[in-house]
């Protein structure tokens, strides 16, 4: 191992000496030199991690930043003409993410200023913070301070300037904040399952982020989901019976939304991220959300237990799930944008992301936006022109049906009336799928007679 570099001085060449050099390496570590650059003092984090005390701070940092940058460039997540919105919760992952995106932007600015023709513009960065106090009344007292902290954090970053958008979660229901808050509370109260509540809130949060991104001209939403987070997601999705849609959620790019979502920290584990946060002295804000007692919490503690037992477990879990076939929307939609650098285009070819065209789905669950399996959506067609509430039930995935929709079918209509307009409009779209009406809708402007019978 140690003999890969040409500068190996132990003089070993061949297998016979391999053991000898390994012994030497152990001694080297004891003498406290970074195993990579072999000149600086390694960092000791004291968090019990397996590779603690192996790298110096610079090598450690460049390793993680490298993973971030590789993800960004190889999937064309951020290109010069883009305007990206960073979803910022104040936690470790999103704090590190914001820092990395900032560094990338600073570098782009430097290159721009240095280049003669200034052909490649610098991408724009905005920051979005979702105010969840309407869903967690206990948070309202802390929220003011948290928002002030977020504002000062974003303001204190060096130029280029970043816009901060604080989004109240109830904004998905409309602009009247009192009425929207009321509707949110009613909606959450009508979900009986604890896990269902948590998940519904997550879906609403994503909707709020999408809304603010598309309304303000952003074309990418950057989120800080790390490997550990995704590992938990893989298991929760499995446990909730969402095996079909799982592969859509854990890719680098998720373009099923109006504004494509990108996950540049997908390949970094939680431990690395917290270490880096300590190293850089980045501050975070932890909002004490309601104590979770559902499936999500149980799975998280299970994954933590597994991770303790084997430090690469989280990576293995995500790698397994990554072997599942992704969806056609798990890549940045192709554009003829000349601003995508040639290098990136070549990389995309190299990674050769293949998508099975035959395995595409057209319908999505209106609540969680998960792609629907044929077996899930088969009962869609059987329900034809009946009650809107039944259509909502039929349009949802089995997991949302169970944990979010009310058990009692008679209260479905009321529940549907509480959902954000965006979700309901998707149900209506569902009803039209495969039907004559849908086709008619498309050619309406060219039809001379309004009545279908007389055609």
Partner 1 sequence: MEASEAKSKKTGASRLCCLCNQRRPVLKRPKTLQQICKECFYEVFEEEIHQVIVKNHLFKSGERVAIGASGGKDSTVLAYVLSELNRRHSYGLDLFLLSIDEGITGYRDDSLETVKRNELQYGLPLQILSYKDLYGWTMDDIVKMIGLKNNCTFCGVFRRQALDRGAALLKVDKLVTGHNADDIAETVLLNILRGDIARLSRCTSITTGEDGPIPRCKPFKYTYEKEIVMYAYFKKLDYFSTECIYSPNAYRGFAREFIKDLERLRPRAILDIIKSGEDFRIATTTKMPEQGTCERCGYISSQKWCKACVLLDGLNRGLPKMGIGRARGGVNGDHTKETKKLAKSIESKKCGSLDF
**Residues at the site binding partner 1, with contacts judged by CB under 8 A:** 192-193, 195, 234-235, 237-244, 246-247, 294-295, 298, 302, 305-306, 309-310, 313, 316-317, 319-321, 323-325, 356, 359, 373, 375, 398-399, 402, 407-408
Measured from the CB atom, is 279 or 324 closer to partner 1? 324
Containing 163, the helix (H) or strand (E) segment is strand 163-168
Q: How many CA atoms lie within 13 A of 109 on its CB side?
A: 12
Nearer to partner 1, 102 or 331 (CB): 331
Q: Which is nearer to partner 1, 55 or 244 (CB)?
A: 244
Instruction: Indicate left, alpha or beta for 450 from its phi (over 0: left) and psi (-120 to 50: alpha).
Output: alpha
Q: Residue 330 CB, nearest distance to partner 1 (Å)? A: 11
Instruction: Pick the closer one to partner 1 by CB: 149 or 402.
Output: 402
**CA neighbours closer than 13 Å in the CB half-sphere of residue 392:** 27
Q: Find the length of the chain.
A: 455
- Taking each helix axis from N to C end, the angle separating 177-189 and 194-215, rounded to the nearest 10 degrees, works out to 150
Phi first, then psi, for residue 179 (nearest 5°) are -65, -40
Question: Of 32 and 320, which has the nearer Cβ to partner 1?
Answer: 320
Q: How far is the CB of 238 from partner 1 (least distance, A)?
A: 4
Token match 């680098």: residue? 252
3-state SS class at 129: strand
In the complex, what is the shortest distance from the CB of residue 375 to partner 1, in angstroms, rounded to a whole number?
8
Provide the minimum distance between the beta carbon of 411 and partner 1 in the complex, in angstroms, as a whole number: 11
CB of 337 to partner 1, least distance (A): 30
Is 197:135 a contact under the CB 8 Å cutoff?
no
What sections of 293-435 are H helices per DSSP? 295-309, 313-322, 342-351, 374-382, 388-395, 398-403, 412-418, 421-432
Looking at the Cβ atoms of 78 and 235, the one nearer to partner 1 is 235
Taking the complex as a whole, how short is the minimal distance between the CB of residue 91 and partner 1, in angstroms? 25
CB 121 within 8 A of CB 80: yes
Please report how close the Cβ of residue 36 comes to partner 1 at its closest, in angstroms: 25
Q: Which two tokens stand for residue 82?
A: 């883009």
Q: In the complex with partner 1, which residue's Cβ is closer, 92 or 247?
A: 247
Nearer to partner 1, 234 or 340 (CB): 234
Least Å from the CB of residue 145 to partner 1: 34
Cα(418)–Cα(354) distance, rounded to whole angstroms? 40
């Amino acid at each position: 191992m140690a003999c890969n570099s040409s500068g190996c001085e132990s003089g070993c060449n061949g297998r016979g000496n391999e053991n000898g050099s390994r012994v030497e390496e152990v001694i080297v570590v004891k003498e406290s030199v970074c195993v990579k650059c072999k000149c600086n003092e390694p960092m000791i984090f004291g968090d019990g991690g397996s590779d603690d005390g192996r790298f110096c701070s610079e090598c450690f940092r460049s390793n993680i930043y490298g993973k971030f940058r590789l993800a960004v460039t190889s999937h064309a997540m951020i290109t010069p003409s883009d305007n990206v919105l960073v979803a910022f919760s104040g936690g470790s992952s999103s704090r590190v993410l914001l820092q990395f995106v900032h560094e990338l932007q600073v570098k782009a600015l430097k290159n721009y200023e240095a280049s003669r023709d200034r052909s490649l513009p610098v991408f724009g960065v905005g920051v979005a913070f979702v105010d969840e106090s309407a869903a967690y009344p206990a948070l309202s007292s802390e929220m003011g301070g948290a928002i002030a902290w977020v504002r000062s954090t974003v303001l204190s970053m060096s130029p280029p300037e970043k816009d901060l958008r604080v989004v109240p979660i109830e904004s998905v229901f409309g602009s009247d904040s009192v009425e929207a808050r009321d509707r949110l509370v009613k909606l959450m109260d009508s979900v009986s399952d604890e896990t269902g509540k948590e998940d519904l809130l997550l879906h609403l949060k994503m909707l709020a982020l999408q809304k603010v991104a598309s309304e303000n001209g952003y074309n990418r939403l950057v989120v800080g989901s790390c490997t550990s987070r995704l590992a938990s997601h893989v298991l929760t999705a499995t446990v909730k019976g969402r095996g079909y849609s799982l592969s859509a959620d854990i890719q680098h790019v998720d373009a099923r939304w109006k504004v494509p979502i990108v996950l540049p920290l997908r390949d970094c584990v939680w431990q690395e991220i917290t270490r880096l946060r300590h190293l850089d002295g980045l501050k975070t804000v932890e909002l004490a959300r309601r104590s979770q007692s559902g499936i999500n919490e149980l799975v998280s503690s299970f994954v933590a237990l597994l991770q303790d037992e084997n430090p690469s477990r989280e990576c293995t879990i995500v790698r397994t799930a990554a072997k599942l076939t992704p969806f056609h929307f798990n890549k940045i939609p192709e554009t003829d944008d000349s601003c995508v650098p040639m290098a990136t285009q070549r990389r995309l070819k190299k990674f050769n992301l293949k998508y099975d065209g035959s395995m595409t789905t057209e319908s999505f669950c209106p609540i969680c936006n998960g792609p629907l399996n044929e077996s899930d959506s088969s009962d869609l067609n059987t329900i034809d022109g009946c009650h809107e509430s039944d259509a909502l039930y039929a349009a949802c995935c089995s997991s949302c049906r169970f944990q979010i929709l009310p058990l009692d079918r008679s209260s479905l209509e009321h529940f549907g009336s509480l959902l954000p307009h965006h979700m309901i409009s998707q149900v209506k779209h569902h009803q039209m799928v495969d039907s004559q009406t849908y086709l008619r809708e498309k050619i309406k402007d060219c039809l001379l007679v309004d009545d279908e019978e007389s055609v």
